[in-house]
Amino acid sequence: MGFLGGRLLVVAFEGWNDAGEAASGAVRLLKEQVQAQPIKVLDAETYFDFQFNRPVVSQDEDGARTLQWPDATIFGPAEGAAERVALAADAELNVSGSNVNNLYLLLGAEPSRNWKSFTAEIIDTALAEDISAVVFLGAMLADVPHTRPISIFVSSENAEVRAELDAERSNYEGPVGILSVIGEAAEKVGIPTVSIWASVPHYVHNAPSPKAMLALIDKLEEVIDVVIDRGDLVDEAAAWQSGIDVLAGEDDEMAAYIQQLEQARDTVDSPEASGEAIANEFEKYLRKRSDGRGDGRGDGRSDGRADGRGDGKPDEPWRGKD
C-alpha cells in the first residue's frame, strides 16, 4: 500500500523534543487548518507531574481567569471534512491534497511519568482508528548558523519506509525521549514510522523559531502529500533571521562564532560531502550530547539549557533519532 496509502498520524510534543517550539508549532498550524476534532484526551493526572508541567492561567476578553492544564490529545478529521475539501475553492481551505481526510494529529506536552501506559493508550487508539503510518516531528538545538537553510534530518527504522521516502537510519545508542518509545511500539504492532527533525541554532534558544517551523512544514508537506498554507510564517521567518542579524552586528564575538558555523555548514553542503559523510557527522553530534538532564524550571519547555549548564547547548542526543 505504501506509506501514503492510508491514515496518517502526525505527532509532536512540547518540551525537550521541541526546540524553538518548531515541532509543536507545525502540528498546531496543521490542526487549525484541517479543523480536526479531539478523539482521545490522555488523562493529565495519570501522566503529568504538575510541578514540572505547570498549569497556565490566562484571561479572556471579559477578564475571566481560566486554568489550562497540560495534556496530550489525539485529533481526527472533523465531521464534514470530505465535503469541505470537495469545496476547497469556494471555502478557501488552507490545506489541500489527497490525504487531507486521512490526517490524524497528536499534540501535547511530553509526559512526566508512566510512559509505558501512555504509549499503550496511543497505540490502542491508533489501531482502533486504523492508522497505517506515523510521522514524528521534532526539533533540537544544534551548532548551526541561522543564516543558512535549516537542516532537516529524516529517519526511519522501517526498511520499506526508508526506501520509499529516501530516509536515513540512525545508528544512535543512548537515552531516548517519548517519540522513540512510541515509535518502537508502533513498529512492533506493524505501523511504520518516520521521523523529521529540524536543527535550531543554539545561540537563539530563548525564542520560538519560525524558520525551523517553516522548514518542518516544508518537509512534512512533501512526506504526507498535502499542501499547507504558510500564512504569515514566511515573513515571520525572514523577520526572525533579520533580528538575529542585527544582534550579531552589535556583537563581534557572536558574529565571529556565526561565521565559523557558516564555514562548517558550507563544507558539509559542498558537492564533495557525501550523504554518508553528513549522516556520520550527525551521529557524531548526537554522541557528544549523551547526558540528558532536565533544567528544573518546572514548565516542561526546552530553553536550550536542558543540562542546567547555561551554555545554550543541548544535552538531548536522542532527539536526533526520534
What are the boundaries of each domain within the chain? 7-320
Bridging pattern class, strands 193-201 and 152-155: antiparallel
Phi, psi torsion values for 136, nearest 5 degrees = -95, 135
Bridging pattern class, strands 152-155 and 7-14: unpaired
Please report how many Cα atoms fall inside a 13 Å half-sphere around the Cα of residue 286, on the Cβ side. Answer: 21
Q: Give the pLDDT confidence score for residue 125 in this predicted structure.
A: 97
- Of the candidate ranges 78-82, 83-87, 164-168, 243-247, the one whose mean pLDDT is the lowest: 83-87
Closest to 135 in 3D by CA, of 94, 171, 95, 107: 107
> pLDDT digit string (tens) for 127-154?
999 999 999 999 998 888 898 889 999 9
- At the topology level, CATH places domain 7-320 in Rossmann fold (3.40.50)
> pLDDT digit string (tens) for 291-312?
554 443 334 343 333 333 333 3
